[in-house]
Amino acid sequence: MQTRLTINGTPHDLDADARTSLLDALRNHLDLTGTKKGCDHGQCGACTVIVNGRRINACLTLACMHDGDEITTIEGLGQPGNLSPLQAAFVKHDGFQCGYCTPGQICSATAMLQEVKDGWPSHVSGNLTGAMDLTDAEIGERMSGNLCRCAAYPNIVDAIRDAAEVKA
């Protein structure tokens, strides 16, 4: 199937099997292996990418459903020597160990910070409307779709808090 995907600002014409997930399209067809496969079932978040501004699990969606979509992967957020504030904060706070869940964590956090800015409440938010504080509990709750078996969670929370403060 022919699908046009704009990935990190660059258009790609993909010719792949209709069964190809967005994740496998990135990894197997477009050589963008920064996005990871941890479960292929929407249970771990390792494959998180940003599609039209929203974070999604790339393993749970077919590539051919994204004709014309704008996709941001970890490769688009920053490169060695040119890290995004979140990427730099993850390095500084050791927000990872093996690094396998990390691209997903960072893509997820990037979109999550925007969700908070846009006033989207979470399960632990005190109010459903209005500005919200980025407490540790908010970060933990909103990042719980991204598993980390190395369990860098406290450092991930520190990194996200730090990057958000620098931005603000």
- Which parts of this chain interact with another protein (CB under 8 A)? 16-17, 19-20, 24, 27-28, 31-41, 43-44, 46, 73-75, 77-81, 83, 87-88, 90-92, 94, 96-103, 106, 124, 136-137, 139-141, 143-158
Identify the burial level of 13 via C-beta atoms within 10 angstroms of its C-beta, where 0-12 means exposed, 13-18 middle and 19 or more buried: exposed
The binder of ligand FES chosen from 25, 32, 51, 59 (CB under 6 A):
59
* Diameter over CA atoms, the chain: 47
State the residue for tokens 């992967």. Answer: 73
| Closer Cβ to another protein, 80 or 130, answer by number | 80
Binding partner of 135, given another protein, ligand FES, none, CB within 5-8 angstroms per partner class: none
Q: Do the strands 2-7 and 70-72 form a parallel or antiparallel pair, or are they unpaired?
A: parallel
- Give the span between the Cα atoms of 91 and 56, in whole angstroms: 24
Q: Does 101 bind ligand FES (CB under 6 A)?
A: yes
Residue whose C-alpha is closest to residue 8's, from 21, 23, 24, 26: 26
| Closer Cβ to another protein, 70 or 140, answer by number | 140
Binding partner of 47, given another protein, ligand FES, none, CB within 5-8 angstroms per partner class: ligand FES
| Token representation of residue 56 | 């999604």
